[in-house]
Amino acid sequence: MTKIQAEHHHHLSTNRIEALSDGIFAFAMTLLVLDLQFPDAAVASGTPLSALLFGQVPRFFNFLLSFVLLAVFWVIHNQQFHHIKRSDKTLLWINIGLLAAIVLIPFSASLEGDFEGQMLAELFFAGNIFLIGLFFLLNWAYAVKGKSFTEQPLEEDFINASLLASMTIPAIALLAMAGALVFPRHSANLFLLIPLIMSAISWRTKRRREQKA
């Protein structure tokens, strides 16, 4: 048995990771909607529906932002495991840490909605996003650097571009944490940069690969 064959023999399938991840992403995305509800006191007082709906605007924004971010994170996870075909215990635990941070999003989004514009709530939400980005970076770096987790060796340019994309999330989260100290009411808006930057990196990587082909 060669060294590579021995390594493959001790590797685990990624099927269980992907199945668990899809379930947790779906669960977290669904839980977000539970934060959209009218205060009982406002309903009992006979407040007009238009006023109740208008009062939910910040929560709707938090819902949409969190849902879009979770969608982006699911796409990133899907893209990483398009290439990662094997795992080991270390990779399993990295993904368990990632999923723990993912399932925390509904709570941190609700906290941000309940305490809108408060520094601590914004820091907690940004810290949650930072952890997710950090685990994505660890997951990809561990899988591609000197490991045989991919079906075939990946191009160095593609690896570097993917690592750069993974660094985008924790970098923006750190920027949002800094922003929360100065303008907490608007710091979460910085997370809108994540889908924009990720799309730009994806387009640039695709363009380079087409030029090389």
pLDDT digits (tens, 9 = 90+) for 176-192: 999 999 998 889 999 99
Q: Over the stretch 101-135, which tens digit does the pLDDT of each residue have?
A: 999 999 999 998 888 889 999 999 999 999 999 99
Is pLDDT of 76 > 60?
yes
Beta bridge mates, 150: 84
| Mean per-residue pLDDT, 33-53 | 67
Looking at per-residue pLDDT, the higher value among 147 and 117 belongs to 117
- Given this model, what pLDDT does residue 2 score? 47
pLDDT higher for 40 or 138? 138
Tokens of 28: 């977290």
Return the closest-CA partner of residue 68 out of 156, 213, 201, 193: 193
Residue 44 is predicted with a pLDDT of 55
The mean-pLDDT minimum among 21-25, 34-38, 44-48 falls in 44-48
pLDDT of residue 9: 44
